Chains A and B, each alone.
Chain A
Amino acid sequence: MKLHLKIWRQNGPQDKGKMVDYDINDVSPDMSFLEMLDVLNESLVAKNEEPIAFDHDCREGICGTCSLFINGEAHGPDRAVTTCQLHMRKFKDGDTIYIEPWRAKAFPVIKDLMVDRSAFDRIIQAGGYVSVNTSGNTLDANAIPIPKHDADRSFDAAACIGCGACVATCKNASAMLFVSAKVSQFSLLPQGKVEAKQRALNMVKQMDEEGFGNCTNTGACEVECPKEISLENIARLNREYLSAALVE
């Protein structure tokens, strides 16, 4: 396949940046999207040009590091996959493909297509944990009975890989889907109930301070999320936050 790429180039956080056109030939439909970029980068290096910086790690959809806004959609046109799992067979010969970084005030561009997602880490630090006793008599988690329904919901929420596609795709750059998944995975389990109130309050406070937008329930995040995290989690977060704020 032959493709016309329009890729965001930005030489550091202070640089203004711009879209740059690249033509690439001999793309195999079996390549992953990132492999296609690898090939392009090799040709740039061969020409003594600066390769395009983009984030990636596991390349199997589990780490949440890859992060490209492809042709107007987070992680590209396919559903329930990350950029690293997207294949070139989803595109046609002669297509023009726009490749941009996640765009949000809370996710500043580091270079080219790489953004700084440490705002998510700070939200987790604000409350995304449970306290467990580690003084030699640690309880086996499986010894605590948990209703199947709750265990399933918690597990579904825990599938969030923290990629930030929800923020990238939301017209308000809201982080509610991410935060609601991280709150839900704990609050549905007995181990997470102890700190449930403080967790909801503190994580939302941090989320607001980082400069993410307010959720207006457009539902775009749920559609673009590679792990199909449900909007139901956002309703649960609203519920938990509001009841915690009321008795605080």
Chain B
Amino acid sequence: MAPLKGFFHSSIARKFWMAITGLFLVTFLVVHLTVNAFTLVSAELFNEAAHFMATNPLIQVMQYVLAAGFIIHIVMGIRLTLQNRKARPDRYAMEKAGANSSLGSRTMIQTGILVLLFLIIHLRNFFVPIKTGNMGGMDDYTLVTTLFGEWHYTLIYVVSFVLLGVHLNHGFQSAFQSVGWKDNRWKGLMSGVGTVYSIVVAGGFSLIAIYHFLF
């Protein structure tokens, strides 16, 4: 085999890259949630943080890494799912999947694609206006709180984060298995941390949005 070929072209390699990009997105969410939480402190603090994110050179570079992470994760995820469907062309007449696996683990592509749809709406509403400075005279804080004032936007937002939470509840521990770091001593801890992380992310983003909707 050509050098490193197995690191890019095999079922295990694809899962490795899904896991690495997934874990990278997991850390990105922590940063994003922290910045969002600033809106609860004061408008100035959030505006300053948003300005920093929009101008700091290191963050500018990371933006491209983040975009690449998303694209690799999504493209691999879709390819993986299509391949897996092909591996079972004839379905069972009777299947009791609930007896041996969780619903969340079986619906990663569905939760993933719904999160992707949300991501597109989200980029249009926040990222593009902030990036282009085309915000109709509003500062970052006003843009955010105005959008959360609309009930349908906040609803879509909260539903999407709950779905992301379901995605991550399986994804977090699954990523450690995919890179080969898991064993029976650690698996309980990894699932536990993953569940706590998913609740903090889904709950954190949602509660901030609901807070701005209400107040």
Residues in A lying within 8 Å of B, measured CB to CB? 6, 8, 19, 69, 71-73, 77, 98, 100, 103-106, 169, 171-174, 176, 201, 204-205, 207-208, 211-220, 223-224, 230-232, 234-242, 244-246, 248
Contact A238–B178 (Cβ < 8 Å):
yes
Contact B84–A172 (Cβ < 8 Å):
yes
B178 to chain A, nearest CB (A): 6
26 CB < 8 A contacts A-B: A8-B93, A72-B97, A73-B100, A103-B88, A171-B101, A171-B106, A172-B88, A173-B88, A174-B11, A204-B10, A211-B87, A213-B83, A215-B11, A217-B174, A217-B178, A218-B102, A219-B100, A223-B100, A234-B177, A235-B181, A238-B177, A239-B181, A242-B12, A242-B16, A245-B13, A246-B7
Contact B90–A214 (Cβ < 8 Å):
no
Contact A103–B83 (Cβ < 8 Å):
no
A114 to chain B, nearest CB (A): 15
Given contacts A105-B86, A171-B84, contact A214 B11 (CB under 8 A): yes
B26 to chain A, nearest CB (A): 15
Given contacts A73-B96, A171-B106, A201-B1, contact A245 B7 (CB under 8 A): yes
Contact A231–B7 (Cβ < 8 Å):
no
Least CB separation from B2: chain A residue? A248
Tally of contact residues, B, Cβ under 8 A: 48
8 Å CB contact of A104 from B14, B88, B170: B88
Within 1-60 of B, Cβ neighbours of A (below 8 Å) are at 1, 3-7, 10-16
Contact A72–B99 (Cβ < 8 Å):
yes
The 6 closest A-B CB pairs, nearest first, are A239-B180, A72-B96, A213-B87, A245-B6, A172-B84, A238-B180
A44 to B13, CA, bound (A): 50
Q: Tell me whether B80 is interfacial, beta carbon within 8 Å.
A: yes
Least CB separation from A244: chain B residue? B6
Contact B106–A218 (Cβ < 8 Å):
yes
Contact A100–B182 (Cβ < 8 Å):
no
Chain B, 173-196, contact with A by CB distance < 8 Å: what is the 0/1 string? 110111111111001000000000
A234 to chain B, nearest CB (A): 7
8 Å CB contact of B94 from A100, A172, A212, A216: A100
B104 to chain A, nearest CB (A): 9
A8 to B88, CA, bound (A): 16
Contact A208–B102 (Cβ < 8 Å):
no
8 Å CB contact of A72 from B92, B173, B181: B92
Residues of B within 8 A of A77 (CB): 99
Residues of A within 8 A of B184 (CB): 230, 232
A181 to chain B, nearest CB (A): 14
Q: Tell me whether B89 is interfacial, beta carbon within 8 Å.
A: yes
Contact B12–A237 (Cβ < 8 Å):
yes
B96 to chain A, nearest CB (A): 3
Contact A216–B88 (Cβ < 8 Å):
no
A58 to chain B, nearest CB (A): 25
Contact B3–A103 (Cβ < 8 Å):
no
Contact A73–B99 (Cβ < 8 Å):
yes
Residues of A within 8 A of B1 (CB): 201, 248
Residues of B within 8 A of A216 (CB): 15, 80, 84, 105, 108, 174
Residues of B within 8 A of A232 (CB): 182-184, 187
A187 to B187, CA, bound (A): 21
